[in-house]
Chains A and B, each alone.
Chain A
Amino acid sequence: MKTNESPLAEKGQGEALFARSLVKQYKNTAKPALNKLDLQVQKGEFFGLLGANGAGKTTAISVLSGFFPPDSGTVFIMGMDYRRQTNKIRQILGLVPQEIALYDNLTAQENLLFFGRLYGFRGKKLQSRVEQCLEFAQLTEQATRLVSTYSGGMKRRLNLATGLLHVPQILFLDEPTVGIDTQSRHLIHKQLAQLNREGTTIIYTTHYMEEAQELCSRIGIIDGGRIIEQGTPAELLQQSGSRNLEDLFLHLTGKQLRDA
């Protein structure tokens, strides 16, 4: 396996994300979901975590974003240890979970106001951020409708916008375009690319090859709870001699079904 690694001794000081030997095993399972996963992401990168169902993508995102701690291993976000500086990290970290993380019986505006206040925004600044997020998600006209009345694509866009309320420096997205229409997916891709150009570090999980190839500056292929290959899309294709990422992926992970 060829990797692009920073010196371990620096312990993630220069990187947006530094994870070392992460292990996580759920109860009553035979194999660990994360099996000594190592990962480094530079500031400003758009890093894609590509893997089949059950490969460990969501667990990786959950551990890296601090939703639950690993059984062992360390995580540094922007040089800060998650175990010691949790609240500081949460101020600069954004998370867009795979499930829709919105209150159905609140309007889009109410959802954004609620989460915005919890981030500490008040008054005009809060109003301004809410308006910007609604514009980002192209939901300004539908802001006063209950989220329960939204289509899947609208909910996904709002889900993403809510994760950006506090202008995070590093953003984790767990399969943010699952089950939505092409137009909504296209809009999300466009907005994320713009965010990345503006300096936001993005860690993006997906099992759609074309999505990873289109968006990501660097890709890590995860299987069995560890990164088995990583590099830029061009590097990966060149090294393996595959015609496309799908061929590469199948070559690396095999064609057998992955039931977790």
Chain B
Amino acid sequence: MVKIITAAVKELVLLKRDRAGLLVLFLMPALLVIVITLVQENVMELTGQKKTLVLFLDLDEGDLGKSLRQQLETGQLEVVVWDKGQKTKEDLQAAVAEGEYQVGVIIPAGSSRKIQEETALLFQKDRQPEKNSPASQVPVLVYFDPGVMPGLRSGLSAQLQMALEAIAMKTKMEKLDRELHSFLDSLGGAEDLAPLPSAGLSELTQRPLFILEDNRDSPGPTEAPPYNPVQQNVPAWALFGMFFTSIPIAGAILQERKSGIWIRLTSLPVSHLLFFAGKVVAYLGVCLCQFLLIGLIGTFLFPYLGLPAFTVSGNLAAVLVIVFFSSLAACGFGIFLGMVCGSYEQASTLGSTAVVAAAALGGVMVPVYAMPQMMQRLSIVSPLNWGLTAFHDLLVRGNSLSAVWDDLGRLMLFFLLTIFLAFRLARPRR
């Protein structure tokens, strides 16, 4: 044990004196998590994962605008109302085009009156069906921010169309209700003969028969905050940073192998496993510090940048267990890299390519569910996928540590395999 600690202390002293290495290990993942999270926050606005801002300009004199606004506010929309006395159609178009709002809606003047007129026309006895041409429909003007994603655009259009159809249906039912009562009155006050209850047709058609119970946000075994890019990115880029420590680990081993140090170490009455263990112990500490740094950035800096704070929801011990197993896998990979490569250039190229590829496959940059089928199948071989899945199960899905033992087991197996291969490579070869 003393010899392992001796080897670990030596690694930490060497690392402390390598200022460039320290910058790469700590500054790089910190910058990445800040930049990527800010970028993704903007993407979420454009894809509708955040409440969409709707700019509303009612130039009408009637109730249509109020009805439409009420319909829109029941969804994931935040309606901002402009005063028609101070703003014009051109002002709204400019605001949306500049990206201040994702969508703008204008109710033209006279729309409420035109709706009543068109509805009355529908109930005329001598109405010809073909007279209900597009020219007789009431226009509602919609403007979209050019940067809005097609998916969000379609969703918003559909939502507006549904809201307008609901208003149209209500208007028609109210008219039908009046016509029906008028007809019954003309029969000589035979209300008791009316086939309908006393409630109006409009009220009847609007009463919903179904209710959609959305269980999306119901908590798992432990409380977890709602999904946001911070909860995704902080663990993801911390993992990325941890696996990037494999390159300085490999570099340290290659420096020993390429100098006489490896010869001297081999002549000592000590196994190579001990030297590997020293490196693992030292870099476990480094990985833990990396995670703590990024976690602190997420918790304390992000709110100042307008982002939600990162939270572990009382799961700190479980989070540290995942950090431990992920760090082991990263250290094992670095040691293997140091033994299999012939030069620092090889190790840095191979290592960085492997880590970036594993990160991409693992869902660090793009969620796994958003990848093509084939890539989703490949993602199961990425150690970063195992670590990230464990973090998500804990921090986003609200599961407990017992739900992630399979992922932790894979990380441990990966560590053992890489150390075994490195040890085989370290043994004097014939």
A: residues with CB less than 8 A from B are: 62, 65-69, 71, 87-88, 90-91, 93-95, 97-103, 105-106, 110, 114-115, 117-120, 122, 146, 159, 162-163
Contact = CB atoms under 8 A, between A and B. Distances in A.
B372 interface: no
B260 A100 contact: yes
B260 A101 contact: yes
- The prevalent SS among residues of B at the interface is helix
B3 interface: yes
A69 B3 CA distance: 26
B221 interface: no
A118 B260 contact: no
Contact of B14 (A65, A66, A88, A105): A105
Contact of A105 (B3, B18, B268, B430): B18
Interface string B147-168: 0000000000000000000000
Q: Chain A CB within 10 Å — which of B6, B261, B264, B268 has the most?
A: B264
A99 B259 contact: yes
B259 A110 contact: no
6 contacts: A67-B263, A68-B429, A91-B269, A102-B260, A105-B14, A110-B13
Interface residues of B, number: 22
A106 B259 CA distance: 15
B405 to A, nearest CB: 36
A69 B428 contact: yes
Nearest to B6: A117
B353 interface: no
Given A99-B259, A114-B10, 8 more contacts: A68-B428, A97-B260, A98-B260, A103-B10, A105-B17, A106-B10, A106-B13, A122-B2
Given A95-B263, A101-B259, A102-B261, A87 B269 contact: yes
B430 to A, nearest CB: 6
Nearest to A68: B428
A101 B430 contact: no
Nearest to A172: B267
A101 B426 CA distance: 17
A122 B1 CA distance: 13
B267 A90 contact: yes
A146 B18 CA distance: 13
Given A100-B259, A119-B269, A162 B264 contact: yes
B13 A117 contact: no
The list of the 8 closest CB pairs from A to B, nearest first, reads A101-B260, A99-B260, A97-B260, A101-B264, A90-B269, A68-B428, A95-B267, A117-B6
Interface string B1-24: 011001100100110011000000
A184 B264 CA distance: 22
Max count, chain B CB within 10 A of own CB: residue among A71, A117, A162: A117
B111 to A, nearest CB: 77
A46 to B, nearest CB: 20
Nearest to A24: B430
B14 A101 contact: no
B266 interface: yes
Contact of A68 (B260, B270, B430): B430
B430 A71 contact: yes
Contact of A97 (B14, B264, B269, B430): B264
A124 B35 CA distance: 53
Given A102-B261, A159-B260, A66 B267 contact: yes
A87 B270 CA distance: 8
A71 B428 CA distance: 12
B25 to A, nearest CB: 16
A232 to B, nearest CB: 29
